[in-house]
C-alpha cells in the first residue's frame, strides 16, 4: 500500500495533464500535494474551468506558499488581462471576472 501512495500523485497528475481533467473537480476534490493542485489548476484554467480560477483566488487571498508562482503563470498565459506590472488586487479582479456567469 505504501508503494501505491508514493506513485499515486504521479499517476493522478499524468491523467489530469493528458486526459480526464474532471478527476480533480469531481472525484478527487483536494489532491494532497501542492504541485498536483497547482499544475492541475493550470491545465483546467487553460480550458476555462471555474474550479481553477477559484483555486487561484484562494491562493492569492490566503497568501498560499505557491501564490507567486501562480501569479507568474497567469501573467504569462493571460498577458492581455494580467499585465506584468499588475499588483495582487488587479490579479484578484481578473480572477473574479472569470468567475462571473
Identify the pLDDT of residue 94. 96
Band of the pLDDT at 84, cuts 50, 70, 90?
A: very high
- Distance (Å, rounded) from C-alpha 5 to C-alpha 7? 6
How many C-beta atoms surround the C-beta of residue 58 within 10 A? Answer: 13
Query: What is this structure's pTM?
Result: 0.72
CB 100 within 8 A of CB 92: no
Stated length of the chain: 101
Q: Which of 8, 7, 11, 40 lies closest to 24 in space, CA to CA?
A: 40
Q: Which of 14, 77, 71 is nearest to 23 (CA)?
A: 14
pLDDT per residue as tens digits for the range 25-51:
555 556 677 887 888 889 889 988 888
* Count of the separate structural domains present in the chain: 1
Alpha helices in the chain, H assignment, sequence order: 2-18, 22, 34-46, 50-61, 67-77, 88-98
Host domain of residue 52: 2-98
Amino acid at each position: 500500500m505504501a508503494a501505491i501512495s508514493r506513485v499515486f500523485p504521479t499517476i493522478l497528475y499524468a491523467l489530469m495533464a493528458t486526459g480526464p481533467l474532471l478527476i480533480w473537480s469531481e472525484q478527487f476534490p483536494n489532491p494532497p500535494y501542492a504541485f498536483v493542485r497547482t499544475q492541475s489548476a493550470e491545465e483546467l484554467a487553460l480550458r476555462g474551468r471555474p474550479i481553477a480560477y477559484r483555486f487561484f483566488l484562494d491562493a492569492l487571498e490566503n497568501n498560499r506558499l505557491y501564490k507567486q508562482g501562480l501569479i507568474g503563470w497567469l501573467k504569462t498565459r493571460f498577458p492581455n488581462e494580467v499585465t506584468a506590472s499588475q499588483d495582487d488586487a488587479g490579479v484578484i479582479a481578473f480572477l473574479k471576472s472569470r468567475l462571473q456567469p
